């Protein structure tokens, strides 16, 4: 884990404007270009804001910052800041790396979905930070979030589509990231882009056309495995009290329901 810490000393009476500026310009630009927001905190006297961002490495941070500065949203942000006037009296940033002894795991868990519609077309997205390829929609799993809930949330956020999930088509390990792919179908919503996706669409795919859309090698097997039409069961539980939250029975190839 590699983190960037930002500290803004807020000008008197400017907290509302600073928060709005962050939500409308800074946060969307960072997220669409690949940064991950850990959190944002305000001191009790409302004079200082601390923001934490996560990156896979310092090189990753430099690449993201380069994209952020070139983004049209950054130009809009600079213009808006001139209109708003001075929002903070002092700014400081530094970088943090873990000691290696005070955290439980450095594994990241992500989920994605092979989602089809009534025409048997597959839902694909193109993000701002991986604009060279189409890919299955999905994203990171938040603390305490079950895999199915995380995927429902990510697909809705990225594409505007509501889905029904059947089960898991594959589990993949890539460095310190574990990726779980689900099979499902579209049950509602309207296609739209988001702060993270520059394009979303349903595409007619077959094994021969997959490489025309999926340009990164690690994503191709995930799509091909899901195209087989078979998924294994998935269950999500809670503790205290212990109970079953969700069970996806899996989807055998000869069972469409």
* Third-level CATH fold of 108-248: Nucleoside Triphosphate Pyrophosphohydrolase (3.90.79)
pLDDT tens for residues 173-192?
A: 987 889 999 999 999 999 99
pLDDT for position 144: 82
Q: Whole-angstrom Cα distance, residue 113 to residue 226?
A: 9
For 132, the token pair is: 């060279």
Question: From 3.30.70.100, 3.65.10.10, 3.30.70.980, 2.30.110.10, which CATH number describes the 2-96 domain?
Answer: 3.30.70.100
pLDDT for position 105: 56
pLDDT for position 142: 85
Find tokens 């952020």 and name the residue.
Answer: 68
Q: Whole-angstrom Cα distance, residue 235 to residue 187?
A: 21
Contact indicator for 74, 68 with CB cutoff of 8 Å: yes
pLDDT for position 101: 55
Low-confidence stretches of the chain (pLDDT beneath 70): 1, 100-106, 253-257
Contact indicator for 197, 159 with CB cutoff of 8 Å: yes
pLDDT for position 125: 97
Alpha helices, H only, 112-234: 147-159, 210-213, 220-227
Q: Whole-angstrom Cα distance, residue 73 to residue 81?
A: 12
Contact indicator for 21, 77 with CB cutoff of 8 Å: yes
Contacts of 233 by beta carbon, 8 Å cutoff, 6+ apart: 167, 168, 247, 248, 249, 250
pLDDT for position 124: 98
Q: What is the pTM of this model?
A: 0.69
pLDDT for position 102: 52
Nearest C-alpha neighbor of 222 from the set 186, 252, 179: 179
Q: Whole-angstrom Cα distance, residue 199 to residue 188?
A: 18
Strand ranges, E, within the chain: 2-10, 36-42, 48-55, 88-96, 108-116, 122-127, 138-140, 161-174, 177-189, 197-203, 234-238, 243-248
Cross-strand partners of 179:
110, 172
Domain boundaries, given as residue ranges, for the chain: 2-96, 108-248
């Amino acid at each position: 884990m590699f983190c960037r810490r930002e500290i803004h000393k807020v000008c008197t009476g400017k907290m509302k404007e600073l928060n709005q500026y962050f939500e409308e310009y800074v946060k969307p630009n960072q997220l669409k270009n690949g940064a991950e927001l850990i959190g944002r905190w305000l001191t009790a006297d409302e004079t200082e804001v601390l923001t934490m961002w996560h990156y896979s490495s310092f090189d990753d941070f430099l690449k993201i910052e380069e994209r952020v500065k070139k983004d049209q949203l950054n130009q809009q942000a600079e213009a808006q800041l001139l209109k708003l006037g001075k929002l903070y009296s002092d700014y400081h940033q530094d970088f943090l790396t873990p000691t290696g002894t005070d955290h439980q795991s450095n594994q990241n868990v992500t989920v994605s979905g092979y989602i089809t519609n009534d025409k048997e077309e597959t839902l694909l997205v193109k993000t701002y930070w991986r604009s060279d390829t189409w890919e299955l929609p999905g994203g990171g799993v938040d603390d305490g979030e079950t895999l199915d809930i995380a995927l429902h949330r990510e697909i809705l956020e990225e594409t505007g589509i509501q889905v029904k999930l059947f089960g898991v088509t594959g589990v993949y390990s890539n460095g310190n990231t574990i990726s779980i792919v689900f099979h499902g179908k579209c049950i509602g919503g309207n296609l739209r882009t988001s702060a993270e996706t520059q394009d979303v669409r349903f595409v007619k795919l077959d094994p021969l056309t997959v490489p025309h859309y999926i340009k990164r090698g690690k994503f191709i097997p995930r799509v091909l495995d899901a195209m087989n039409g078979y998924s294994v069961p998935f269950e999500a539980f809670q503790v205290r009290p212990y109970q079953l939250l969700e069970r996806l029975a899996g989807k055998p190839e000869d069972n469409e329901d």
